Amino acid sequence: MDASILLALRDPAGVPFYPVVFQALYVLTWALHAAFVFLALGSMGLSLYGTFKQKSDDNWKILTPHLIQTGKISISILIVLGVAPLLFTQVIYDPNWYVTNTLSGMWVFIFIYTLVLGYILYYWYYFANKKNQGGGKLIGIISFLILIFAGTLMHNFAVTSLMPNDWMNMYAPNGIVDNSGWTFNVDTVRLIFMLSLSIPVVGLFLQNYSRFLSTRRDFSEIFIDYCAKLGTKIGVVGLIISAVAFVAWMIQVGYLLHPLSIAIVVGVVILLFMILKNSNSYITTIVLVVVALLISSMRELIRFDIMAKLGYSIYEYPVNLEIPTIVMFLLTFLVLGGVGVAYLLTLAWKVGKNQGVFDGTKDKAVTKLGNYTLSIMVLWMVIYFGWGMTILFMNIL
């Protein structure tokens, strides 16, 4: 696939802002999305182990439903966070994105219903396990496998999008056009690496979980200590597995000695040390986010280089600057998003730390954040309608 075709496949409307910004947003939001993918799969996988233990083990009796709940919420968050990288990638890499979707049209359709089915079964698993007696094992395993399959489909799309030179052969092998949309490509090493990250992530989650509950009197010290140690064990083993898989992937793509790759390895070693020591898991989480950002950058670097070799540079994408909507986004993101999400998370944090009913009216931070969020929402609506009516009046009168 030569540059002239790739350039022709770009949207003729151009991009509404500088491509580097979309690239940065893509890297950032993919890392956030992936973090919750790993947490969802990791906590669900571990909860399945728990369903076999919880009948006879008091620690697992408490931990298992909490892991299921964590997985359940994580899936919702990973879906919503996944929308952003989905959006940004097709702004600057539209040739890759749209070719992949059309070549794998059937899988795209199946992916959606796989996810719906997997998630609904997850809820079934959640309800079946409510009595803390190890219920819902089979349904949990089926749901887990379906969700892993959904992840594999997503991986298929990513791999296909990185193979521009093979697109024509996928679409019309031997000159015979195939419109069926059944194209499927897997890169096993890369997939194993991605899936393996679920293990250290759930390990670190357990350390955080234990740290969070340490202030609660309704949880025993034995349980809290058990979770911390379990987290350390899973985190360390998981990191070693991921590190091996990462090195294998880097050797495969020829980036092992690239500074970014080395930075990731260093990051993993630091993480390993921090998880082993477990002096403050919240700080370890920040380091994990940094490593996740580096991995996200690595993905982007590989793609950028593949495309650059073919003569496609996102930095040369024609720009049609679009000021009003970017101002809307930035203000909404920083003001409404910042304050609103801070409000929800503060509330959730404080309720979690509190025993019994939490009185938000007596908490200054919660009250202020709540009032600000509501006022900003109202203001946002006023601006939206004001803006819309101004545009309409100008255009039709």
Near other proteins in 168-197, by CB under 8 A: 168, 171-172, 175-177, 179-181
Binding residue for other proteins (CB under 8 A) from 101, 252, 278, 313? 101
Binding residue for other proteins (CB under 8 A) from 20, 76, 165, 280? 76
Please name the residues in contact with 109: beta carbons below 8 A apart, sequence gap of 6 or more: 181
Closest CB to other proteins among residues 268, 339: 339
Near other proteins in 259-288, by CB under 8 A: none
Contact (Cβ atoms closer than 8 angstroms) between residue 136 and residue 129: yes
Q: Is residue 370 a contact point for other proteins (CB under 8 A)?
A: yes
Binding residue for other proteins (CB under 8 A) from 53, 57, 61, 102? 102
Binding residue for other proteins (CB under 8 A) from 28, 53, 61, 73? 73
Q: Is residue 158 a contact point for other proteins (CB under 8 A)?
A: no
Distances (CA, A) of 344 to 278, 336, 350, 366, 370: 28, 12, 10, 9, 9
Rounded distance between C-alpha atoms, residue 258 and residue 255, angstroms: 5
Near other proteins in 1-40, by CB under 8 A: 4-5, 8-17, 22, 25
Q: How far is C-alpha 113 from the geometric centre of its chain's CA atoms?
A: 19
Contact (Cβ atoms closer than 8 angstroms) between residue 231 and residue 239: no
Closest CB 87 distance from other proteins, rounded Å: 5
Q: Is residue 386 a contact point for other proteins (CB under 8 A)?
A: no
Binding residue for other proteins (CB under 8 A) from 53, 61, 66, 108? 108
Return the closest-CA partner of residue 108 out of 184, 34, 162, 33.
184
Binding residue for other proteins (CB under 8 A) from 28, 66, 94, 212? 94
Segment near other proteins (CB under 8 A), from 56-64, 94-102, 261-269, 284-292? 94-102
Binding residue for other proteins (CB under 8 A) from 266, 345, 365, 382? 345
Q: How many residues bind other proteins (CB under 8 A)?
A: 101
Contact (Cβ atoms closer than 8 angstroms) between residue 258 and residue 243: no
Q: Is residue 98 a contact point for other proteins (CB under 8 A)?
A: yes
Say which DSSP state 104 is in.
Answer: T
Segment near other proteins (CB under 8 A), from 111-119, 136-144, 158-166, 231-239? 111-119
Return the closest-CA partner of residue 258 out of 300, 289, 292, 224.
300
3-class SS of residue 123? helix
Q: Is residue 391 a contact point for other proteins (CB under 8 A)?
A: yes
The strand pairing partners of 319, in sequence order, are 15
Closest CB 389 distance from other proteins, rounded Å: 8
The site string for other proteins over 303-342 (x = CB under 8 A, - otherwise) reads ---------------x-x-x-xxx-xx--xx--xx--xx-
Say which DSSP state 319 is in.
Answer: B
Q: Quick count: other Cβ atoms within 10 Å of Cβ 201?
A: 28
Distance between first and last Cα of the chain: 49
